[in-house]
Structure 1
Amino acid sequence: YFAIPFALGAMTIAILINRNVALIISALTSFLIGFTFDEKIIFPLFSFLGSIAASYQIVRIRQRSVFLRIGLFLGIINMAAIICLNLITGNLFNDLLLRLMMGFIGGIITGILVAGITPVFESLFDFITDIKLLELANLNQPLFQRMIIEAPGTYHHSIIVSSLVEAAAEAIGANSLLVKVSSYYHDIGKLKKPQYFIENQQTADNKHDKLSPKMSGLIIISHVKDGCELASEAKLGRQIINIIRQHHGTSIVSYFYDKAKKDKDESIRSLSESDFRYPGPKPQTKEAGLIMLGDVIEASSRTLSNPTPARIRSLVRERIEGIYMDGQLDECELTLSNLNTIAETFTKILTGIFHHRVDYPETAQKETNGKKDHYETANRKQANPNQA
């Protein structure tokens, strides 16, 4: 009986949901075991101790090979529990050595079974584990390869956003791995029409110049819906799809809304603000809120003609305040303290990104003259808000 994988349920729940739920499952399982076996104390306590120890060890698993290590750990815990229960109850097991061996084997079996059934539950019930997230973070994923070729500007934007939000998530205690991976995929909807987004435009021609403001707004807004569809096809998981759907909340595509209000056509001027707003919903979690902030601030930061630390800090706080005042963060768990920490983290990282190297004296003037026109042209182009 000591070889039975009593901790199987608790370990699986700890991986797929969280440790708190796993502890509840451990208690319920142990209680039921007390009605199943003749030894009303030994097996319930044995099950409960093993389940709790395994649940605390198994959180944040980043490699499938760790399951074997957890199994070995559980085997040792099982052996220790058998010895302790023997001393507490005062029973002298004639077959103590056999029971110790069965307890150790039971731990290994449990680790192997959890490693085998976790991917099944991930697939059947749309759970996403840290192991799955690490697999999705592989740059050889098909969607990444498509972005590199078809939408290189969006790819670069996503990489920078991931750097911002990962550091901020660690600073405020959010799931840094989830936000990192989600930021990689948050704009995959732009793959449907990459040239309509400013970061992917390789020439001075802007496709939006030939479209009405309403049509341009619809194309920009549609990248969220398109992204959710691509994410669903790629089986990225419910959490990532939710973040893609929420990362613009119900914000407005202000550039094309303002353009519509200045149009000569009365029918275009009469369009309402709701015609240029994303459908939402607003971010529901810290992770979704972080990606909304990182997305907006990374795009805005590239419009700075002279990104000094003071200007970067001012831009970051201005954008965060604007998003907060627009009510986009009302439904997520970010506090004012969190927002302050996020602002400081974003400022620090962006300052590092825009930090200019020190030029050698003999080449400084040459590079300055050669790049002046290039930077001015690039900054004017990047200032176009259809970055979305």
Structure 2
Amino acid sequence: AAEIANKIGANSLLVRTGALYHDIGKMADPVFFTENQAGVNPHDHLDYKESARIIINHVTEGVKMAERENLPTIIRDFIVTHHGTGMTKFFYIKYKNEHPDEEIDPKPFEYPGPNPFTREQAILMIADGVEAASRSIAKYTEENIATLVNKIIDSDVADGYFKDCPITFRDIALAKVVLIERLKAIYHTRISYPEAKK
């Protein structure tokens, strides 16, 4: 996120600080988040709405913690905007698939928001979403990484998450380049050499 900020002329120190604090609410129920699980997933024993509530709660809990510790509003804003008004899509889709004939209210699956209203908040939302999704790639190739980065960011744009902030299409294009390069470095991807025809 800081690298993206540097590339587009945003405040990289602010983004970095926001990134350090944005998920503090997960400390309230750490075992419900995949990065803290070791083989046991407590969501397996909950209904999808309850799971969504617990996941969404990391935002509201994070804000409470930030207020208790007198974190500046500018940092608290990263906590409330890093998912914007998005959805806990995993649980929403699971619920929808199991209730095909039901008219489903999306509200229990939605984050409270608001959506990002600064470039720095948008950068964090982008980097956070891409990083989380990158863990689910089956095979780390340059093509798979580029496809994922484009899919996640294009979906955020299509869903209107950046309508309230001054991020530009150029900024977003540069963010994609930075994220693809960083993920390639993290996952040590190599160029796929063509197979010789026999």
Q: Same fold (TM over 0.5)?
A: yes
Per the alignment, residue 243 of structure 1 pairs with: 78
Alignment of 1:79-90 (within 5 A): none
Shift of 1:306: 1.4
Amino acid at match of 1:343: K
Task: Tell me the TM-score normalized by structure 1.
Answer: 0.47
Q: Alpha-carbon deviations, 1:270-305, whole Å to 9, x = none?
A: 431122111111101001111110111001111112
What is the identity, as a one-letter code, of the residue corresponding to 2:86?
S
The DSSP-based 3-state class of the residue aligned with 2:85 is coil
Question: Hey, what does 1:277 align to over in structure 2?
Answer: 110
Distance of 2:176 and 2:60 partners within structure 1: 29
Q: Which residue number in structure 2 is paired with residue 343 of structure 1?
A: 176
Shift of residue 262 of structure 1? 2.6
Within 2, Cα distance between the matches of 1:167 and 1:300?
A: 19
Give CA deviations for 1:166-225 in whole Å, capped at 9, x if unaligned. 00000011100000011011111000000011111112x211111111111111111101
Other-structure match for 1:213: 48
How far apart, in 1, do the equivalents of 2:189 and 2:127 lie?
22
Are residues 214 and 265 of structure 1, via their aligned partners in 2, closer, same or farther at CA, if it must alter by over 3 Å?
A: farther
Compare relative contact order (CA 8 Å, sep 6+) and give the higher one, 1 or 2. Answer: 2
1:295 aligned residue? 128
Residue 265 and residue 193 in structure 1: after superposition, are their counterparts in 2 closer, same or farther (change >3 A)? farther
Residue type of the partner of 1:169? Answer: A
Flag the 1:317–1:356 CA change in 2: closer, same or farther, 3 A.
closer
C-alpha deviation, 1:310, in angstroms? 1.8
Provide the alpha-carbon RMSD of the alignment: 1.6
> Counterpart amino acid of 2:184?
T
Query: 1:96 aligns to what?
Result: none
Q: Secondary structure at the match of 1:262?
A: helix
Runs of 4+ off more than 2 Å: 262-266
**Identical residues among aligned pairs (%):** 37
Q: Which has the larger radius of gyration?
A: 1
* Unaligned ranges ≥5, structure 1: 1-164, 358-388
Match of 2:31 in 1: 195
Deviation at 1:265, TM superposition (A): 10
SS at match of 2:98: coil
The within-5 A match list for 1:354-365 is 354-355=187-188
Matched positions, count: 190
Q: 1:308 to 1:265 in 2, by over 3 A?
A: closer
- 1:232, CA displacement in angstroms? 1.6
Whether contact under 8 Å (2:142, 2:189) holds in the other structure is no
Distance in structure 1 (CA, Å) of the matches to 2:119 and 2:139: 31
Q: State how far apart, in whole Å, the 2-side matches of 1:311 and 1:251 are.
A: 24
Residue identity matched to 2:168: T
2:15 counterpart (146, 171, 179)? 179
Which runs of 5 or more structure 2 residues have no equivalent in the other structure? 191-198
Give SS of 2:71's match: coil
Q: Per residue, is there more helix in 1 or in 2?
A: 1
TM-score (norm 2): 0.91
Q: How many angstroms apart in 1 are the aligned matches of 2:186 and 2:99?
A: 42
Residues 117-128 of structure 1: matches in 2 within 5 Å?
none
Within a 5 Å distance, the mapping from 1:1-388 to structure 2 comes to: 165-203=1-39, 205-263=40-98, 269-355=102-188
Could you tell me whether the CA contact under 8 Å between 2:149 and 2:176 is conserved in 1? yes
